[in-house]
Amino acid sequence: MRNRRFTPYVLRLAVLPLWAAGQAMAHHLPPGMEDVDEFADEPFTAALTHPLTGADHWLAALAVGLVVWSWGRKTGFQSIALFVLTLAAGIGAGRAGVQLPLMETGLAVSVILTGCVIAGAKWFSSKSVLALAALTGAWHGIAHGLEMPAAAPAGLYALGLTLASGAIALTAGLLATKLPTSRPALPRWAGGGLAAAGAWLLLSSFAA
């Protein structure tokens, strides 16, 4: 009964990333990128909702949370914790001017790889899963730190982004504890959907 009850929702979860990938991406990176003015009035509130406005960020947070589904609670919740911690550290690093090459490409690749993790790719070990979660958080944090408006209060900005991102990942992780684990095809579908969404984001970054 449990599997039957959750199967329709899981299948929808697998298709949802494909729709989301066609939506606007969240990051606007300087220099030469689109200007950001959404944090001018209410930086904390804007930062709190910012991860929900673009597919690349909330897909990554969702994917990290769903690691619980295919890798178990220990590795899954450790991944969520590392993602949140490195996201916060990355925001600080980005604010300080640290930059990474091919930022948009890296953001998309993080979604692809985490989708593969959820799908149960055998070439990953638990340590590499944790490392990927940490790298995903750091990469997204640096991207947000770079796009942070100079006039925005850094602490409120970082707090809002970290809370929202952590809430997405933790909610997905808690929901994953209720999803069926006896049918490995289900996480494969969901992970495959996320990986496909990441691939779409990757193609979009090249076309931009």
Q: What is the pLDDT of residue 33?
A: 39
pLDDT in tens, 95-108: 888 888 778 788 88
Structural domains counted in the chain: 1
Does residue 186 form part of some domain?
yes
Least confident of 100-104, 108-112, 120-124: 120-124
pLDDT in tens, 125-182: 999 999 999 999 999 999 888 887 777 777 888 888 899 999 999 999 999 998 887 7
Does residue 59 form part of some domain?
yes
> Biggest alpha carbon distance in the chain?
54
Give the structural domain span for 63. 2-13+43-207
Tokens linked to 77: 């919740």
- Of the candidates 169, 167, 150, the one whose C-alpha atom is nearest the C-alpha of residue 48 is 167
**DSSP assignment of 53-120:** S-HHHHHHHHHHHHHHHHHHHHHHHHHHHHHHHHHHHHHHHHHTT---SSHHHHHHHHHHHHHHHHTT
Residue 25 in this model has a pLDDT that exceeds 50: no
Tokens linked to 99: 């930059």
Q: Residue 31, class by beta-carbon neighbours within 10 Å (0-12 exposed, 13-18 middle, 19+ buried)?
A: exposed
Does residue 31 form part of some domain?
no
Does residue 18 form part of some domain?
no
**How open is the CA angle 71-90-31, to the nearest 5 degrees?**
125
Does residue 176 form part of some domain?
yes
Does residue 77 form part of some domain?
yes
pLDDT in tens, 48-70: 777 777 677 889 999 999 999 88
Does residue 20 form part of some domain?
no
Q: What is the pLDDT of residue 86?
A: 97
User: What distance in Å separates the CA atoms of residue 205 and residue 208, rounded to the nearest whole number?
Assistant: 5
pTM of the model: 0.77
Does residue 22 form part of some domain?
no
